[in-house]
Amino acid sequence: MNEKNRSAYLIIGILSLVVFVFLTWLIYLRNPEPNYPAWVTALPSLNAMLNGITAILLAWGFFEIKIKGNKESHKKIMICATVTSGLFLISYIVYHQFHGDTKFLAQGMVRPIYFFILISHILLSIPLVPLVFTTLWHAKSEQWEKHKKFARWTFPIWQYVSITGVLIFVFLKLFN
Ligand code: HEM
């Protein structure tokens, strides 16, 4: 491993760990604020929208490089997907500043389906953070073989996490 990659991987590792520890504390280990402003209740819809937009951008960016071979469009669209995912993360943090985790109360077959989606979504979102940064780093440093090697994991995991983010919102709206 060259010196440049070693430093980048170290920074990405530390950054991802900080995000992971902070989110675990925010959502599971802290008492949320009991009184919150009305606009906070609109954030889950905004989060679902940002996840939906990210999923569309990812599919579009993939199409641009794999089908059309258009590197410039691929670059711009993947950067936009990173921005919408980043905005989602900010809005998600603001929401959980006020609100703890949401209990799923519905019974029956929908319950195991919901929890399969939720748990797989949470577990895959953990490696997603370092995967996105690493894929971007390899693009920025023009290491294309490495970019492709990582992108083969980053792309489907990111797509899965974005789509299941929307599904979780829909399940909570329809069945809870
Ligand atoms: C995290 C965001 C990104 C993801 C998920 C991603 C995903 C992908 C995927 C799936 C491929 C096709 C891999 C294959 O053929 O097996 C690819 C190729 C490529 N990407 Fe990205 N990409 C991202 C960001 C970028 C950025 C920011 C740039 C521009 C600087 C870029 C430039 C390229 C290029 C030039 C190729 C073609 C490489 C080659 O065939 O030699 N990508 N990317």
CA of 21 to the centre of ligand 1 (A): 29
* Residues having CB within 6 Å of any atom of ligand 1: 62, 65-66, 71, 74-75, 78-79, 132, 135-136, 139, 144, 147-148, 151-152, 154-155
Probe target for ligand 1 pocket from 74, 145, 152, with the most ligand atoms within 8 Å of CB: 74
Q: Distance between CA atoms of 167 and 5, rounded to whole angstroms?
A: 36
pTM given for the model: 0.94
Structural domain that includes position 121: 3-175
80 Cβ neighbours under 8 A, 6+ residues apart: 57
Distances, alpha carbon 96 to alpha carbons 44, 118, 172, in Å:
10, 16, 16
Q: What is the predicted pLDDT for the residue at 102? A: 86
- Quick check: 35 pLDDT over 90? no
The whole-number average pLDDT for the span 95-110 is: 91
Q: Which of 78, 84, 159, 161 for a ligand 1 pocket mutation test, highest count of atoms within 8 Å of Cβ?
A: 78
Structure tokens at 5: 């990659």
Share of the chain above pLDDT 90, in %: 88
| CATH code of the domain containing 10 | 1.20.120
Please tell me the total count of domains within the chain: 1
- Please state the rounded mean pLDDT for residues 63-68: 98
Q: To test ligand 1's pocket by mutation, which of 62, 148, 159 has the most ligand atoms within 8 angstroms of CB?
A: 148
